[in-house]
Amino acid sequence: MRIAVIGGGPGGLYFSYLWKKRHPDAQIDLFEQNAAGATWGFGVVFSEQALEFLRADDPDTVDAITPRMESWRNITLHLRGESVEIDGVGFSSIGRLELLGILQARAASVGVAPRYGTPITSVDQLAGYDLIVAADGLNSLVRRAFEGDFGTSLSYSANKFAWYGTTKRFETLSQTFVKTDLGTFNAHHYRYSPGMSTFLVECDLPTWQRYGFADKTVDQSKAICEQVFAATLDGHELVSNKSVWRNFPWIWNERWSFKNMVLIGDALHSAHFSIGSGTRLAIEDAIALTKALEAELDVAAALGRYMRERQPIVKKLVTAARTSADWYAQFPEHMQLELMDFAYSYITRSGRIDDARLRAMSPGFMAGYEASRRLSAGGGKA
């Protein structure tokens, strides 16, 4: 079987590596429009659960990635100069470019030779391939060319965000919520290497409009964000890498394949950055597609199996991501809560964590939260 993969991000690289590793004689060609060292963004995050899922299928790749990761066990929230830690929420992060480098090396180790600097402008260029794997991201050529056949839906969150980096080191995955005279901001920040952190700035549309960001250059926007989060950055600057203001795109496809073309990763679905699952989903899609292709005798049957088995899992995560994004759409209102009530609202926002699970997962935080509720119910008397 001849396979063409469009897109040299984590999903495309990982699928190519997996298939070639398991089928050394297979012909698999990976096409990437950018150079090997080009990427946008800064760090990517994996939950402990995501890493364990990957380890079950491919412990060697996890062993290659984890020594290069930064890890922590808590989430820290900052509101009105106060802070609270939510314990037991394990995450790890790695620089996106470093992750791509590891996956590129693993793909090369099994004989995959990606064709970098090779844009695919039409699927007609790929005539003769038995399977075309579209791992070409949010702006997928394949999906856009056949969106009616895939049953594509596209919408956007109202909030605006810009993705920066910084040399400021943060000890945990952190969120800082700031109110200014012109509006409210939230920053998602975490370290992804010993000397670098992701710093994603988000605000609601009224705030974005009052600051006039539509008419600001990238440098002017960066300077405003540095001023808003001066106390958080502690003298460190923000670093730009295509750090323009955007609305988060919600992508979903009712049908995951058409003819001999199949979607994976962001080309297929998007999950809000507030649950940090985009890269995880792309890698898990690659695993699921590989297993489906190995389980069936022909491509059409395999693609049907891939969707049947994988879609319910993805739907659950995407639903949680939408619920999480809905919370962020109202974060200025949530900021009016007392600190512990705010933190409880935050950690339960996706609907996947109830009180029983929170007590087991985050006993320290939950003890503090329930004590604050008792104190409040008692009229402030201990």
Task: Tell whether the model's pLDDT for residue 378 goes beyond 80.
Answer: no
Task: Tell whether the model's pLDDT for residue 382 goes beyond 70.
Answer: no
Please name each of the domains of the chain with its CATH number.
2-39+99-155+250-329 (3.50.50.60)
Quick check: 92 and 45 in contact, CB under 8 A? yes
Q: How far apart are CA 217 and CA 165, in angstroms?
A: 17
Residue type at position 44: V
Task: Tell whether the model's pLDDT for residue 275 goes beyond 90.
Answer: no
Q: How confident is the model at residue 368 (pLDDT cuts 50, 70, 90)?
A: very high
What is the token pair recorded at 368?
């503090």
pLDDT at 379: 64
Task: Tell whether the model's pLDDT for residue 238 goes beyond 60.
Answer: yes
pLDDT at 157: 95
292-324: pLDDT as tens digits:
999 999 999 999 999 999 999 999 989 988 999
What is the token pair recorded at 283?
């890698």
> How would DSSP label each residue in 137-182?
-TT-HHHHHTHHHHTEEEEEEEEEEEEEEES---SSEEEEEEEETT
Q: How far apart are CA 86 and CA 335, in angstroms?
A: 17
Computed over every residue of the chain, the mean pLDDT equals 94
Q: How far apart are CA 113 and CA 356, in angstroms?
A: 49
What is the token pair recorded at 160?
């605006």
Q: How far apart are CA 303 and CA 258, in angstroms?
A: 9
Q: How far apart are CA 348 and CA 353, in angstroms?
A: 5
With a pLDDT cut of 70, the percent of the chain lying above it is 99
